[in-house]
Structure 1
């Protein structure tokens, strides 16, 4: 999931022109498409697996491929925008997204399907932060920008819920429609964006180096890590392929760190990791998003394959976890301002593992009312309480000049958590659902421990005598 920082809507200020409204709905509409990509794919997974003959260890690439493309190339996408300009990058990303959607719908190759998901994730990495930048440059600071960000956030939060319903309906006709339907929507947005997105030129202080090596090593490390987890589920954890992928991921990860420490204009300033609130937000949000998607992966397969749910019924069943965030998106900034990020994060981080622990996983078929629903309601409450607070804490803990970099690091961690957990849960499914749900609960508890650390006030440094 992706969610920008909502702000409290203001009513004062001049009315917007039709062009401003049109631009905002183009940007918000694209944010909605990006957000529903994950939920739409989740509901369709059993049908994709049955049609292409894929076990869970490979099927998870439909979800994790998008997450790796998004998270692995998010920082590089920001660099492309800074050097090439917002308008050309945004327009190109919409066209490529539409083409990848059609290619994924038409292919019978699992590898090509996974590749299109990766490409679509990269396109989302280009358009999501660029949309925020366009809003910041088009709407003046104050009430106008606050209203624009509120609308943008509402579309992003509602996209996941919309994807559940839309995918449930489309998958009944065939899973390929879930991949194809974003193509015409993206082309319509492209046609409108041609007229509405203002032309811009790179800023004078913009970086001049792409740091393609940094982007390649980071993305390669994430891809090999997911590949290692998938290989472990298919071939065993001591198989040469599994060990080779783990080794390659570690080497590329170390190579990325070395590059970022030595390159003149790094994609990621590693000194940002010394900011405790930013690091806790990145780890906590990654744990929450990853454990949530891991749960939905398990429930999707269980409800459709064991309980006989249709895709439409599955989408409806998941709404209690997704809809509360959409319904409260316009007020989440106000809630964070009143209670403060650390307390909301701790409350949300406690609700999620409680929900996971309540889910009974030893019966032949789950009962929706007593098993599934309480868990989903608690997870939905966790996102309402914590997800916006995570973003606020991450970006407000650094200097204003570093907030964009902090936001990129934070979102990368959120997507990495999604990719790793979906791959690991799929790999462990053959060992039994109990094991997978124990893992999901453990990751949720890890997020709670990180959140509780944020409630401890920092220790004051004692002054030396004589100073």
Structure 2
């Protein structure tokens, strides 16, 4: 590894970071923070966007699912792009595109441009989030210095969602466009700092030769067609040719993706990885947890603001108990997994989530909501679910495969988590638009219970990884 002249390669013997390495870490962690808050800032702003642009819930959900689809469907492709072109140029370009997409989204006068910018920002996150972690591993010496850097990086990632709730709650009260515009100057400042601090890679390293564009496009098209078909169902009808055609196209693209990956000399994902049952169960369980969680918050933000009269800031504060506990526990997740075993933590967390959904009020009017008794218990149980299960899912997923394939397994896992969010949110919005709040809430309960059923087989044997893994989500 060859570093730029501005980034020292040494640290004190006690593991303290030099000022330049602290600067690099703050750039990477800061970008991780704005990647992580992209979903939460949009959640609180949804009612304001819907009122201003005249969007129905099935259109509004694209603000959430569009980002998740861009992140999840192109995450593996993003890793390939970085491997071929190098970390530094891709990271810098992604920051600039992210800033431009933020401004374009803030200025959007219709859903098409807004949704497109959300997808683009998801792809930018797919480029920078895993790359930031790789830069830390290569730039920081192994030992206390790297451990400290990874802890800070993980803490910023865990705090992003909670930070987004507060930022969006404040800015949406002024105007929802400020919520989408504020990441732009932040990304530009990070870009200027990154120009000086992000190290260059050594030449001569073996790199893949193929991008596998066909694999990336077919996976992205599969996800987008599914979301489009689901969202068109309540408006056009589930038997309408457009809805059925969307599902049919999704199936065609899915089959094409499998064929491309089977025949490609350098596939984005080696499909034999799916033979590891624990990895697949962990990915599906985490997808169900993340998808049901965001779906509940989607229903809740519409109910609390449109029907119970809460302000955006009050809504953001109302959601904090569901996200803030993860911030405080982020540094201890590895120790928890080592002490209690990932399977037990996952089973406990996967139980807490649907229990919280069941406690949430199904009243369509929402006029008699009492936060302390109707909403807070659900939020506390969701916070507990994420503290217990989310990191444990990732640790269990990567521990299930040989060491040399753990990076590939992590990519598959993160892809499932994001695509699960995109599909669950789209389906929940469709049921909400077609049948109302209560049936949509029961769907969220069903998704949560599905995650629990996937988690239960893991109790047959307890996984106690010798070293905790670090998640980038």
TM class by smaller structure: over 0.9
| Match of residue 256 from structure 1 | 257
- Measure, in 1, the Cα distance between the counterparts of 2:15 and 2:289: 39
**Number of equivalent positions:** 448
- Measure, in 1, the Cα distance between the counterparts of 2:289 and 2:446: 11
- SS of corresponding position for 1:455: helix
**What TM-score do the two structures reach when normalised by structure 2?**
0.93
Ranges in structure 1 where 5+ consecutive residues have no aligned partner: 1-10, 459-467
- Measure, in 1, the Cα distance between the counterparts of 2:405 and 2:421: 25
Question: 402, 415, 436: which is aligned to 1:399?
Answer: 402
CA shift digits 1:27-64 (9 cap, x unpaired):
00000000111000000000000000000001110000
- Measure, in 2, the Cα distance between the counterparts of 1:361 and 1:256: 40
Contact 2:349 2:386 in 1 (8 A): yes
- TM-aligned CA deviation for residue 206 of structure 1: 2.2
Matching of residue 451 in structure 1 with residue 446 in structure 2 = no
- Measure, in 2, the Cα distance between the counterparts of 1:12 and 1:363: 61
Contact 2:364 2:436 in 1 (8 A): no
- SS of corresponding position for 2:459: coil
Contact 1:288 1:352 in 2 (8 A): yes
- Measure, in 1, the Cα distance between the counterparts of 2:153 and 2:174: 31
| Match of residue 420 from structure 1 | 423
- Measure, in 2, the Cα distance between the counterparts of 1:339 and 1:12: 33
- Measure, in 1, the Cα distance between the counterparts of 2:35 and 2:53: 25
- TM-aligned CA deviation for residue 202 of structure 1: 6.2
| Match of residue 4 from structure 1 | none
**What TM-score do the two structures reach when normalised by structure 1?**
0.94
- Within-5 A mapping of 1:81-160: 81-160=82-161
- SS of corresponding position for 1:338: helix
- Measure, in 1, the Cα distance between the counterparts of 2:256 and 2:202: 33
CA shift digits 1:162-213 (9 cap, x unpaired):
0000000000110000100000000000000000000114663321100000
| Match of residue 33 from structure 1 | 34
Matching of residue 378 in structure 1 with residue 381 in structure 2 = yes
- Measure, in 1, the Cα distance between the counterparts of 2:357 and 2:38: 24
- Measure, in 2, the Cα distance between the counterparts of 1:12 and 1:370: 53
| Match of residue 308 from structure 1 | 309
- Measure, in 2, the Cα distance between the counterparts of 1:332 and 1:202: 36
- Measure, in 2, the Cα distance between the counterparts of 1:391 and 1:220: 26
Matching of residue 245 in structure 1 with residue 246 in structure 2 = yes
- Measure, in 2, the Cα distance between the counterparts of 1:112 and 1:193: 28
- Measure, in 2, the Cα distance between the counterparts of 1:208 and 1:388: 33
- Within-5 A mapping of 1:43-442: 43-201=44-202, 204-362=205-363, 364-365=365-366, 366-430=369-433, 431-442=435-446
- TM-aligned CA deviation for residue 141 of structure 1: 2.0
CA shift digits 1:208-248 (9 cap, x unpaired):
10000000000000000000110112211111110000000
- Measure, in 2, the Cα distance between the counterparts of 1:202 and 1:368: 58
Contact 2:364 2:438 in 1 (8 A): no
CA shift digits 1:108-159 (9 cap, x unpaired):
0210000000000000000000001000101122222111111000000001
- Measure, in 2, the Cα distance between the counterparts of 1:279 and 1:218: 18
- Measure, in 1, the Cα distance between the counterparts of 2:204 and 2:441: 48
- TM-aligned CA deviation for residue 363 of structure 1: 6.0
Ranges in structure 2 where 5+ consecutive residues have no aligned partner: 1-11, 463-473
- SS of corresponding position for 2:35: helix
- Measure, in 1, the Cα distance between the counterparts of 2:447 and 2:13: 44
How large is the RMSD of aligned CA atoms in angstroms?
1.3
- TM-aligned CA deviation for residue 457 of structure 1: 3.7
- TM-aligned CA deviation for residue 370 of structure 1: 1.1
CA shift digits 1:344-392 (9 cap, x unpaired):
0011000000111111213632221111110110011000000010111
- Measure, in 2, the Cα distance between the counterparts of 1:193 and 1:339: 39
- Measure, in 1, the Cα distance between the counterparts of 2:424 and 2:450: 13
